[in-house]
Amino acid sequence: MLQRLDFSQNSFVDAIPNELGTLSQLELLMLSENKFSGNIPAALGNLSHLTELQMGGNSFSGEIPSELGFLTSLQIAMNLSNNNLSGSIPPQLGNLIMLEFLLLNNNHLSGEIPSTFQNLSSLLGCNFSYNNLTGPIPSIPLFQNMAISSFIGNKGLCGGPLGDCSGTSSPNSVPSSSQGVDAPRGKIITAVAAAVGGISLILIVVIIYFMRRPVEVAASLQDKEISSPVSDIYFPPKEGFTLEDLLEATNNFHDSYVVGRGAVGTVYRALMHSGQTIAVKKLASNREGNNVENSFQAEILTLGKIRHRNIVKLYGFCYHQGSNLLLYEYMARGSLGELLHGSSGSLEWPTRFTIALGAAQGLSYLHHDCKPRIIHRDIKSNNILLDDNFEAHVGDFGLAKVIDMPQSKSVSAVAGSYGYIAPEYAYTMKVTEKCDIYSYGVVLLELLTGRTPVQPLDQGGDLVTWARNYVRDHSLTSGIFDSRVNIKDESTINHMITVLKIALMCTSMSPYDRPSMREVVLMLIESEEQEGNFISSPVYDLPLKDNAS
């Protein structure tokens, strides 16, 4: 069953066949940077499982098929830039409510930007520059706050960052550019959208930073490691694993041993001869350049140096037949997201609080005590893993970033998952530890309410908005909490309300209003010791009136 199809950065020519639309299970279609021509097949609208469509940098012509509006699972990006497309933008694209990045720049599109785009509530960035678009830019908050470079090169376009539509000349009247954007922020938006794809990336400067340090990966794995003659495989000798053992334990990575799948790769459960169970993360094959390789190096170089009870333990790594394998401590209870939102049953409040505190302690270690300090960049309930005792372990460091390096503040890849991304990141594209704190606050809200981070549009669209609206309309009451939790007494309610206050602090719209993770840990500990009485230090005003409206 084909799920990923990547023909990008080749020299393929001519039209693409309509038969592509029959690949019903396809999730990623990558056709960028080729010499494809002809029309975009309307049959692509049948790919109901597609999450990313990359077709930029070709010679496609004709109109954008309205059938692409049927791709309602599209989330990561739709990139049709740098082609020869003409006609109007189909209003049906406004149905793609999960879409985060839309690139239509450097074509010959005409007409107005559809008003239906106000439905694109998940949109983080887009580019319409260098077309023949006319009329006012829709009054969408994201459009009004975007850089002018996302709209320039359309002589008839006005409004938003281009100025009012009074008929006076605007900065929009500029010569065409073969690259589509010549302003710095325009380059950032284009680079970000081209880089998205679910594959975890890390800036090469982070790799160089670690490589220059006199710390070998072997040293970061504690003991002197050995190499198997079968492949480049490295483990501490006391574990005694070999590649052949892994292949046998997973039946050559058969699907029946899969315990999880993600954008970066697949996780397998492996029972070794010693009786120990480990998790093997097999990273997906290279899609664009060295993206997967960067993710692999990022996770090794980060995890290999970390030893903390609330951080998932890395046993070893190896390269096998072009694939990168990471070997972790196996977490028998799976992820917090699976337990909260799956059918495995509910968690009582003491267990939920223990998980919340453990995850906070792990994240606090990364931010304050780890050398160098680390921003995780993808905190979510699915990346908080639980052992037999429901002890929380923060995992998946494929997006991890070093705090202490000045170069690490601006990124070229989308950091985080929809519903967990801090609001300032969509506009600044800069990562700080406050982004992690916001994401952690969303996890706290999940633990408290039992709701998923993405909510129906008529309820706010995301969990943070829903929670703030509920508190604004109903005050701080127990009605907001997960009905599956057996709340036995008033002290439990008070404790949960206190943790709710902490969650609201962490998800403040302004990063300056969020506490540090060290302060979050202290507040959680004191909330338990004081049986729900809210602590007085540090003091943060609850952001309910100004930011909840």
Amino acid making up residue 234: Y
CATH number of 334-531: 1.10.510.10
Give the whole-angstrom CA distance, residue 50 versus residue 170: 38
CATH number of 243-329: 3.30.200.20
Find out whether 442 and 448 touch, Cβ atoms under 8 Å: no
Query: What is the reported pTM?
Result: 0.56
Which residues of the chain fall below pLDDT 50?
168-171, 173-233, 235-238, 286-290, 405-413, 534-549
Residue 225 is predicted with a pLDDT of 36
Find out whether 151 and 137 touch, Cβ atoms under 8 Å: yes
Residue 237 is predicted with a pLDDT of 38
Give phi and psi for 164, each to the nearest 5. -70, 170
Find out whether 129 and 151 touch, Cβ atoms under 8 Å: yes
DSSP 8-state assignment for residue 213: S
Residue 234 is predicted with a pLDDT of 52
- Which residues, including other chains, have CB under 8 Å from residue 480's CB and lie 6 or more apart? 448, 449, 467, 470, 471, 474, 500
Residue 401 is predicted with a pLDDT of 64
Question: 451 is written with which tokens?
Answer: 């709701």
Residue 107 is predicted with a pLDDT of 95
Give domain limits for the chain.
4-162, 243-329, 334-531
Distance of CA 68 to the CA centre of its chain: 23
The set of catalytic residues is 378
Give the whole-angstrom CA distance, residue 449 versus residue 489: 18
DSSP 8-state assignment for residue 428: H
Give the whole-angstrom CA distance, residue 478 versus residue 497: 7
Residue 507 is predicted with a pLDDT of 94
* Residue-wise pLDDT tens digits, 405-461: 444 333 434 566 778 989 887 666 778 899 999 999 999 999 999 999 988 767 777
Residue 322 is predicted with a pLDDT of 67
Q: Are strands 4-6 and 28-30 parallel, antiparallel or unpaired?
A: parallel
* Residue-wise pLDDT tens digits, 77-96: 899 999 999 999 999 999 99
Residue 481 is predicted with a pLDDT of 94
CATH number of 4-162: 3.80.10.10
Give the whole-angstrom CA distance, residue 132 versus residue 408: 37
Give the whole-angstrom CA distance, residue 392 versus residue 397: 15
Residue-wise DSSP of 19-48: GGGG-TT--EEE--SSEEEEEPPGGGGG-T
Amino acid making up residue 250: T
Whether the domain at 4-162 and the domain at 334-531 fall into the same CATH topology: no
Residue 401: Cβ within 10 Å count: 26
Give phi and psi for 249, each to the nearest 5. -70, -25
Instruction: Find the DSSP H helices in 73-166.
Output: 141-144
